[in-house]
Amino acid sequence: MRALGARLAVVLRPGDLIVLSGPLGAGKTVLAQGIAAGLGVRETVTSPTYVLSRIYADGRIPLVHVDAYRLGAAAEADDLDLDADADRSVTVVEWGAGLVEGLAQDHLEVVLTRPTADESGEVRTVRLLASGPSWTARLRGLSS
């Protein structure tokens, strides 16, 4: 998950929104840590479950890391004022599907499955779902 996050960070731009979906233990926070590392964030990135959001400003692009698990509606997400910094930062939202897509015209949803075991160890499935032409083009570039 960290390696995938670092690879995604290469194509990130100010204003990007990434929505992380998947069950507990699927790797959402670890993916966010990889994105942060890829952006050059030196601080330790931890889950913002209890504070709802954290801002890491020391990377190539500021990172806003949000955990929407305890939010019940899009109106509660609006109360966080995430759009205040959205145009100049990368916003990564765990558990944000259905709540935060309005923050950006285009966004990327990363859907993770909980790991299963096989003979080589843990296996996760990751689906990258592009919303909008910007992410569609960038995902094509990542696969090459």
Using pLDDT thresholds of 50, 70 and 90, give the confidence band for residue 129. very high
Work out whether strand 17-21 and strand 90-94 pair parallel, antiparallel, or are unpaired. parallel
What is the Cα–Cα distance from 55 to 137, expressed in whole angstroms?
27
Model confidence pLDDT, tens digit, residues 71-124: 665 545 555 555 556 678 899 999 878 777 777 889 999 999 987 776 666 778
Q: How far apart are CA 62 and CA 57, in angstroms?
A: 4
Domain extent for 112: 2-142
Q: Are strands 63-67 and 107-112 parallel, antiparallel or unpaired?
A: unpaired
Chain segment 25-75, per-residue pLDDT in tens: 899 999 999 999 999 999 999 887 766 788 899 999 999 998 877 666 554
Structure tokens at 112: 């993770």
Domain count, the chain: 1
Which residue from 112, 94, 99, 113 is spatially nearest to 49, judged by alpha carbons?
94
Report if pTM > 0.75: yes
CATH number for position 19: 3.40.50.300
